[in-house]
Amino acid sequence: MAGGSRGTDESEDAVTGVSEWLLFAPTVAVPPTPVAPPLSRPGDDRAPPAIPSANPVPEAGAVVRLHRQFGRLSLSGFRGMVVSAANLELDRGVAFLLVPVFLALGVIGYFSLGEEPGFPKIVAVVFLAASCAFVSRSYRKTHLCFMMALLCALGVLAAKVETWRAGTQILGSEISTRLTGRVVSLDQMPNGRVRLTIDVLSTTRPTLRYAPERVRLSARKIPSDMTAGSQVAGYVRLLPPTGPVRPDSYDFSFDSYFTGIGASGFFLSNPTIVPSDDMPFAARLGSSIENARETIADHIRTSIGGAEGEIAAALIVGVRAGIPEEINEAMRRTGIYHVISISGLHMALVAGTIMLLLRGSFALFPDFSSRRPVKKYAAAAALVSIAAFLVISGIVVAAERSFIMLSVMLVAVLFDRAALTIRNLAISAIAVIVVSPHEVVGPSFQMSFAATAALVGAYAGWSDYRARKVSTPPPRRSLPGFLMRKLLLATGGLAMTSIIAGSATALFAIWHFQRVSPFSLFANLAIMPIVSVIVMPFAVFSSLAMPFGADGPFLYVMGKGLTAMIALSAWFSERSPIDAVGLISLQSVLLVTVALIIATMATTWLRLASLPFALAGLLTISDTRAPDVLISEDARLVALPIGGGELAVSRERPNEFTADNWKRALQSETIIKPESFGQSDPQFDIADAADLPPGAPFSFYCSDDLCVARHPSGAIVVYVEDRKKAWKACRFADLIVINDATGYDPCRNPTVLVVTKRQLARTGSAAVFFDPQSATSRPKISFAVDRPYRPWHQQRKFSREARGLPPYRKPDKPVAAPAQ
């Protein structure tokens, strides 16, 4: 009995890790079950045969294993190792993980095309690739190559189908009209205005022949009884969606096209409710969901109040419009804005809280729980809960991805199947790509999947490491020691999660937003425990208690947690240095993406292939040149960096959003506004602009209708609003910007670059580069929009400016002749 007890204790103390990849293809033979030796007879002096140890001998370290594998390899031997490792990767199902990669590659290729391809060409390529893949089934390598081509072609086809399906009618030019429509949603803005999303039913005075189907308008005040589904009317000013504020930046026309928003603008007078017709079923269903969201949001705002109530409404029902901008900016600077965006963290906390509550409740009834699959019951309830959470919080790409991943895991629990996390990620990526291909080129998809893939890959690597190790449970500790160990483990896990996710998304954040969060790690370590332990669990509790009117205490605790979160984010934000990092090269982002894919999907030593790509990506980060001059697409704003973190602009009150984007892209902290001179001031005349004093600051000198500035390179930039004055600058200017749609190039000088309002209306904002080697060479220019136009830019050619027409003015009323 004593010997048996000791053997049991030793077997329980030996704890070995299990790698999830061993479920695909075990790489080591399973040792035979040891057989107990025969009992020795009295007087038998022979030693009993040795029993194989239950604990395997720990393997050599990573460096020793690499030396054994690669120390004395020939080229042919290395080739054989690569082939063997690649075959093992395929046996483990890595080919399936690459399906979303090649689908996404096809989607990116489609949106990068210079012109819109037709359906026949794409279908022909898909059919050809499918035929070649079918014929080459007997040749594994060739078959894999054709399958890659087929997946890329299917990605192109999916993107083309979505573009055709969207077919958004976008307004081509600014116009005022009387609009009648049905309210889709209402958002209370921090400045007191209300933003309405409206389905257009009709327009009058004038009647628009190509009216957009859905618009987004702001109003100062709305009737108190206006809700989603109400039919409203009012006189509005409609504006077409803008393009990128600079080349290679976010394209608002692209986003508007795929979200179905054909125009934006504002009510010139307060909207009124008009009698409505019968709504279609889809509109009634959508209005019911939106009204439920708004009712819940109003209840949360009233219960908690202040900015905390706005954030609580964002976390529970996805209504984020009312959060004050200073709080949004503080969370962006500290790297915790992901808390506001409903994603995997929120979905996992909701599902985990529901399962924990139900499993704990079932445990109170041991007779029932011992005879029923209570784990499956809890998983089914969690699945329904996250589905309701997805609908009520608004369907965004991060929430879609998280919902699909968790759904696969919960469904696997229902059917007693193993659901590997990396496969869940691949399945969710495939689903998002098929449903919304345009999300692939957006920051939400890229950062969301990059962070999740990095975390999954790191966890898989850690699992592989532990699978090769033998660990024993830690010695028994006192209660304070036990709690301290758990606290340190949780803190270390949170720190590693923040480091891994932040590192994986850093380049994508820089590419899209030109900013990083220096204190992201420390802010997340301080704030995420509050979110995970207080904010989100009590948000779930309040949601469950809300139908019974018992949610007050839970919302109170949630509000206190949000107060602490806001205070900590403001504290870190005040101490955070400038987060603008400027532009990075596209090839750097692509190389790091390849490295991330290899590192997270490979399961053998082939992971090392990610290192050259990662190193090359880091070395080419700065392999790009910042523009010397930026010009807005409406030709109203010109800016140039003048050194010392300063950005000189041509207007006293520049567009705030555009100026902030340019500041981050050009690593500028301060906006230098122009120095104004009156028209009669003898010190300033366009003919004397070349004689500006050498010691004068590199800022714009402006009169009522023209501005002149000298770039630090010595180039002269002239901005004019009257085309008749532009010719005077031809003899000394290097760049002339004419804010006049009827203007043209008056210089006939190949070394002077002239940019007109008509050019910008057609091709979007511009970036200008001066040649530092030659002062007499013509500056180079790049525009944000290429021609021929893609579907989301077709509206550009219909504006008055693009057609070279001056702004519209109402004709003067005829003066009545005096009575005779």
Side-chain-facing half-sphere of 777: CA atoms under 13 Å: 11
Q: Looking at the structure, do residues 123 and 189 belong to the same domain, yes or no?
A: no
Under DSSP, the state recorded for 644 is T
Concatenated DSSP letters of 63-131: HHHHHHHHTT--HHHHHHHHHHHHHHHHHTTHHHHTHHHHHHHHHHHHHT-SSPPPHHHHHHHHHHHHH
Domain boundary among the residues 575, 602, 619 is at 575
Phi, psi of 682 (to 5 degrees): -70, -15
Phi, psi of 338 (to 5 degrees): -65, -20
Q: Looking at the structure, do residues 396 and 507 belong to the same domain, yes or no?
A: yes
Residues 355 and 598 sit within 8 Å (Cβ to Cβ)? no
Sign of CA dihedral 617, 619, 620, 621: positive
pLDDT of residue 5: 38
- Greatest pairwise CA separation for the chain in angstroms: 150
Domain boundary among the residues 166, 185, 206 is at 166
Q: Looking at the structure, do residues 523 and 382 belong to the same domain, yes or no?
A: yes
Q: Looking at the structure, do residues 258 and 392 belong to the same domain, yes or no?
A: no
- The answer to whether position 389 is within a domain reads yes
pLDDT in tens, 135-188: 999 998 899 999 999 999 999 999 999 999 999 999 988 999 999 999 998 988
Side-chain-facing half-sphere of 128: CA atoms under 13 Å: 9
Q: H or E stretch including 646?
A: strand 646-649
Residues 346 and 392 sit within 8 Å (Cβ to Cβ)? no
Q: Looking at the structure, do residues 431 and 307 belong to the same domain, yes or no?
A: yes
Closest CA to 427 of 455, 400, 408: 408
Under DSSP, the state recorded for 212 is -
pLDDT of residue 36: 47
- Number of domains composing the chain: 4
Q: Looking at the structure, do residues 135 and 199 belong to the same domain, yes or no?
A: no
Q: How far is CA 524 from the centre of its chain?
A: 19
End-to-end CA distance of the chain: 132
Residues 374 and 353 sit within 8 Å (Cβ to Cβ)? no
- Helix 552-575 to helix 325-334 angle (10° resolution) is 60
Residue 697, token pair as written in the block? 């600051």
Peptide bond into 697 cis (omega under 30): no
Q: Which residue segment(s) compose the domain that 232 sits in?
A: 175-279
Other Cβ atoms within 10 Å of 58 Cβ, number: 9
Peptide bond into 788 cis (omega under 30): yes
* Those residues with Cβ within 8 angstroms of residue 544's Cβ, 6 or more apart along the chain or in another chain: none
Note the residue count of the chain. 820
- Helix 443-467 to helix 397-414 angle (10° resolution) is 40
With DSSP H G I counted as helix, E B as strand and the rest as coil, what are the percentages for the chain, rounded to 5?
A: 50, 10, 35
Looking at the DSSP assignment, which residues form a beta bridge with residue 671? 647
Closest CA to 470 of 63, 64, 60, 57: 57
Distance CA 54, CA 428 (A): 40
pLDDT of residue 72: 61
Q: Are strands 716-720 and 735-738 parallel, antiparallel or unpaired?
A: parallel
Residue 510, token pair as written in the block? 């820089």
Closest CA to 107 of 163, 167, 157, 165: 157
- The answer to whether position 387 is within a domain reads yes
pLDDT of residue 588: 93
Distance CA 237, CA 623 (A): 43
Q: Looking at the structure, do residues 428 and 540 belong to the same domain, yes or no?
A: yes
Q: H or E stretch including 410?
A: helix 397-414
363 phi-psi bin (left φ>0, alpha ψ -120 to 50, beta other): alpha
Looking at the DSSP assignment, which residues form a beta bridge with residue 186? 196
Which residues of the chain carry a pLDDT beneath 50?
A: 1-59, 679-684, 687, 695
Phi, psi of 521 (to 5 degrees): -60, -50
426 phi-psi bin (left φ>0, alpha ψ -120 to 50, beta other): alpha
- Residue located via tokens 């901005």: 719
Q: Looking at the structure, do residues 117 and 197 belong to the same domain, yes or no?
A: no
Residue 287, token pair as written in the block? 């209005």
Q: Looking at the structure, do residues 516 and 459 belong to the same domain, yes or no?
A: yes
Mark 385-417 as b/e (b = at least 16 C-beta within 10 Å). Answer: bbeebbeebbebbbbbbbbbbbbbbbebbeeee
Q: Looking at the structure, do residues 506 and 387 belong to the same domain, yes or no?
A: yes
CA-angle at 299, arms to 294 and 305, nearest 5°: 115
Distance CA 57, CA 16 (A): 12
Q: How far is CA 389 from the centre of its chain?
A: 20
pLDDT of residue 783: 95
Q: Looking at the structure, do residues 646 and 788 belong to the same domain, yes or no?
A: yes
Under DSSP, the state recorded for 515 is B
- The answer to whether position 56 is within a domain reads no
Domain boundary among the residues 560, 575, 590 is at 575
- The answer to whether position 7 is within a domain reads no
- Residue located via tokens 């429509």: 181
Distance CA 596, CA 453 (A): 8
Q: Looking at the structure, do residues 184 and 148 belong to the same domain, yes or no?
A: no
Q: Are strands 15-16 and 175-188 parallel, antiparallel or unpaired?
A: unpaired
Distance CA 738, CA 658 (A): 19
CA-angle at 515, arms to 514 and 520, nearest 5°: 155
Q: How far is CA 587 from the centre of its chain?
A: 19
Distance CA 217, CA 228 (A): 14
- The answer to whether position 535 is within a domain reads yes
Distance CA 110, CA 116 (A): 8
Residues 406 and 347 sit within 8 Å (Cβ to Cβ)? yes
- The answer to whether position 29 is within a domain reads no
Rg (CA), the chain: 32
Q: How far is CA 802 from the centre of its chain?
A: 32
Distance CA 799, CA 728 (A): 29
Question: What is the CATH classification number for the domain harbouring 216?
Answer: 2.40.50.320
- The answer to whether position 49 is within a domain reads no
Other Cβ atoms within 10 Å of 752 Cβ, number: 21
* Residue 259, Cβ density class (10 Å: 0-12 exposed, 13-18 middle, ≥19 buried): middle
Phi, psi of 783 (to 5 degrees): -110, 160
Q: Are strands 675-676 and 753-756 parallel, antiparallel or unpaired?
A: unpaired
- The answer to whether position 617 is within a domain reads no
